[in-house]
């Protein structure tokens, strides 16, 4: 199992790195996920993000670790 660097929460910059979106679009995507999960604050874990979009958690963690 790959260890995630620098916290378990996904940030707008992480979404930008994963998708290539601009900052505004990445922030909008994060807000959409928060709304769908019923979260009041923008605190979404990488695992929740991967579950929302059927993505492989290990693959995403390995990719994001290069940017963190």
Q: What is the pLDDT of residues 5-53, one digit of tens each?
A: 999 999 999 999 999 999 999 999 999 999 999 998 889 999 999 999 9
Residue 56 buriedness (CB in 10 A; 0-12 / 13-18 / 19+): exposed
Long-range contacts of 39-42 (CB under 8 A, 24+ apart): none
Q: Is the pTM above the cut of 0.85?
A: yes
Average pLDDT on 2-6 reads 91
Q: What is the number of other CB atoms lying within 10 angstroms of the CB of residue 30?
A: 20
| pLDDT score for 27 | 97
């Amino acid at each position: 199992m790959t260890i995630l660097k620098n916290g378990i929460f996904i940030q707008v910059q992480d979404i930008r790195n994963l998708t290539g979106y601009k900052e505004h679009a990445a922030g909008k995507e994060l807000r959409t996920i928060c709304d769908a999960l019923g979260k009041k604050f923008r605190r979404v874990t990488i695992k929740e993000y991967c579950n929302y979009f059927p993505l492989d958690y290990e693959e995403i963690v390995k990719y994001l670790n290069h940017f963190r």
